[in-house]
């Protein structure tokens, strides 16, 4: 029996007899997540929905920010959502997006990409990069500071965030990616790590569900053996060495645990400022799920994620008014290496 903290154990018991997404199918699986994450919009948060035009669009995009900062020009965190490339929406992710916006004082930009299997690899990557490039080029129209940005993503969204870095390096995105936060990311789809077997029965994410999701998104085996699809196995050290500072948070009870650890280790060996933190007693999706997000470990993880994102964005915008980030500058000025714009927060000891 694998240890789950009391909140995770209670939630695991509550869903023990519920069908998994792969048993429900695409449509009902999506509906189940929406019901699970039913949420009334927070009164202190402003969410705007608009469409980005393009070859792979139009793509619906949500911008989430604190109402108290609505008139300020703010930095952008580009957030890629999980759900196995199949599930998830601005509504089901609203609790997480609102929390992140509140904690960081930034604008969370959330592209609502076309789900698999309606479209398949690499369509969603191209679609999301199209939105990212658009937001960088037209950020001023949306009151955004975009010369320096941050990326974040969970699960399959973490997989997409890694791809965005690769594509940005290859295509010359006109913005510096100052930091990337990954929550329990997918990093390899062509092979299974030991944790797939160890945690094949979940809770919450089952190995069979993950297989179903990969099949829906990447039906062609040859596509799985590429750097975009399986960066852990196929991304070169040369490209990895150019990645931004990265913080990876992992669930201790999760089929994706080992591949997250191994990807973090590859980043570290390539010389990237990469921290890997394993959250004990937590199941997959612990920062997303409403039932868990207010328990001690998810709160601590979100506090740390927000601190590192805020720090990186503040240092990337030398002229940013410090009242946007209350009480943060004193911390950063004590912890950073030197006076240059390239300063970074000190690393957390890796697992």
Which is the catalytic residue, given 22, 81, 179, 284? 284
Residue 324 has pLDDT above 70, yes or no: no
Look at residue 293 in the predicted model and tell me its pLDDT.
Answer: 97
Each residue's pLDDT tens digit, 51-102: 999 999 999 999 999 999 999 999 999 999 999 999 999 999 999 999 999 9
Residue 105 has pLDDT above 90, yes or no: yes
Residue 260 has pLDDT above 80, yes or no: yes
Q: Diameter of the chain by CA atoms?
A: 56
Q: Could you write out the three-class secondary structure of the chain?
A: CCCCCHHHHHHHHHCCCCCCHHHHCHHHHHHHHHHHCCCCCCCCEEEEEEEECCCCCCEEEEEEEEHHHCCCCEEEEEEECCCCCCCCCCCCCHHHHHHHHHHHCCEEEEEECCCCCCCCCCHHHHHHHHHHHHHHHHHHHHCEEEEEEEEEEECHHHHHHHHHHHHHHHHCCCCEEEEEEEECCCCCCCCCCHHHHHCCCCCCCCHHHHHHHHHHHCCCHHHHCCCCCCHHHHCCHHHHCCCCCEEEEEEEECCCHHHHHHHHHHHHHCCCCEEEEEEEEEECCCCCCCCCCCCHHHHHHHHHHHHHHHHHHHHHCCCCCHHHCCCHHHHHHHHCCCCCCCCCCCCCCCC
Look at residue 131 in the predicted model and tell me its pLDDT.
Answer: 99
Cis peptide bond upstream of 309, omega within 30? no
Structure tokens at 138: 């037209």
Look at residue 286 in the predicted model and tell me its pLDDT.
Answer: 99
Each residue's pLDDT tens digit, 1-49: 799 999 999 999 999 999 999 999 999 999 999 999 999 999 999 999 9
pLDDT class for 218, splitting at 50, 70, 90?
A: very high
Give the residue-averaged pLDDT of 293-302.
98
Residues in the chain: 351
Structure tokens at 26: 């695409």
Hunting for tokens 């309606």 — which residue is that? 118
Domain spans of the chain?
Answer: 6-335
Residue 255 has pLDDT above 90, yes or no: yes
pLDDT class for 314, splitting at 50, 70, 90?
A: confident
CATH class of this structure's domain 6-335: alpha beta
CB 49 within 8 A of CB 88: no
Look at residue 317 in the predicted model and tell me its pLDDT.
Answer: 63
**Strands of the sheet with 144-154, listed across from one edge:** 45-52, 59-66, 107-112, 74-80, 144-154, 176-183, 246-253, 274-283
Rounded to whole angstroms, how far apart are CA atoms 73 and 195?
Answer: 43
CB 313 within 8 A of CB 244: no
Residue 122 has pLDDT above 90, yes or no: yes
Work out the burial of residue 141: count CB atoms within 10 Å of its CB; fewer than 13 is exposed, 13-18 middle, 19 or more buried: exposed
Look at residue 316 in the predicted model and tell me its pLDDT.
Answer: 64
Rounded to whole angstroms, how far apart are CA atoms 36 and 139?
Answer: 33
Look at residue 328 in the predicted model and tell me its pLDDT.
Answer: 45
Cis peptide bond upstream of 133, omega within 30? no
CB atoms within 10 A of CB 67: 12
CA 111 from chain center: how many Å?
12
pLDDT class for 191, splitting at 50, 70, 90?
A: very high
State yes or no: is 81 an active-site residue: no
Residue 329 has pLDDT above 90, yes or no: no
Mean pLDDT of the chain: 92
CB atoms within 10 A of CB 344: 18
Give the residue-averaged pLDDT of 198-203.
98
- pTM for this predicted structure: 0.91
pLDDT class for 188, splitting at 50, 70, 90?
A: very high
Angle at 243 between CA 241 and CA 246, to 5 degrees: 120
Which is the catalytic residue, given 66, 89, 155, 195? 155
Between these two residues, 249 and 342, which has the higher pLDDT value? 249
Beta bridge partners of 250: 278
Look at residue 272 in the predicted model and tell me its pLDDT.
Answer: 99
Give the residue-averaged pLDDT of 132-156.
98
CA 194 from chain center: how many Å?
23
Structure tokens at 260: 């997250």
Rounded to whole angstroms, how far apart are CA atoms 275 and 139?
Answer: 29
pLDDT class for 224, splitting at 50, 70, 90?
A: very high
Residue 341 has pLDDT above 50, yes or no: no
Which is the catalytic residue, given 254, 258, 295, 317? 254
Helical pair 156-171 and 123-138, crossing angle rounded to 10 deg: 60
CB 158 within 8 A of CB 167: no
């Amino acid at each position: 029996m694998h240890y789950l903290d009391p909140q995770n154990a209670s939630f695991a018991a509550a869903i023990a007899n519920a069908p998994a997404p792969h048993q429900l199918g695409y449509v009902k699986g999506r509906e189940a997540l929406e019901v699970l994450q039913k949420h009334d919009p927070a009164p202190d948060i402003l969410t705007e929905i608009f469409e980005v035009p393009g070859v792979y669009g139009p793509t619906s995009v949500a911008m989430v920010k604190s109402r108290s900062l609505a008139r300020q020009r703010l930095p952008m965190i580009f957030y890629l959502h999980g759900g196995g490339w199949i599930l998830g929406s601005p509504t089901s992710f609203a609790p997480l997006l609102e929390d992140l916006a509140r904690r960081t004082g930034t604008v969370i930009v959330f592209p609502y990409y076309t789900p698999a299997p309606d479209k398949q690899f690499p369509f969603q990557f191209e679609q999301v990069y199209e939105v990212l490039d658009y937001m960088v080029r037209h950020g001023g129209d949306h009151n955004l500071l975009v010369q320096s940005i941050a990326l974040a993503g969970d699960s399959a969204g973490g997989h997409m965030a890694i791809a965005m870095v690769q594509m940005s390096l290859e295509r010359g995105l006109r913005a510096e990616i100052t930091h990337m936060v990954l929550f329990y990311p997918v990093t390899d789809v062509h092979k299974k790590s030991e944790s797939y077997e160890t945690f094949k029965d979940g809770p919450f994410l089952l190995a069979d569900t993950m297989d179903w999701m990969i099949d829906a998104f990447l039906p062609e085996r040859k596509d799985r053996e590429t750097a975009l699809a399986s960066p852990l196995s196929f991304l070169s050290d040369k490209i990895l060495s150019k990645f931004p500072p990265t913080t990876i948070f992992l669930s201790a009870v999760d089929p994706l645990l080992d591949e997250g650890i191994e990807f973090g280790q590859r980043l570290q060996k390539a010389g990237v400022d990469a921290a890997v933190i394993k959250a004990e007693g937590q199941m997959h999706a612990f920062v997303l799920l409403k039932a868990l997000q207010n328990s001690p470990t998810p709160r601590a993880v979100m506090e740390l994620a927000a601190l590192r994102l805020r720090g990186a964005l503040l240092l990337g915008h030398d002229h940013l008014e410090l009242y946007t980030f209350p009480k943060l500058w004193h911390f950063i000025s004590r912890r950073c290496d030197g006076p240059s714009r390239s300063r970074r927060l000190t690393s957390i000891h890796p697992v």
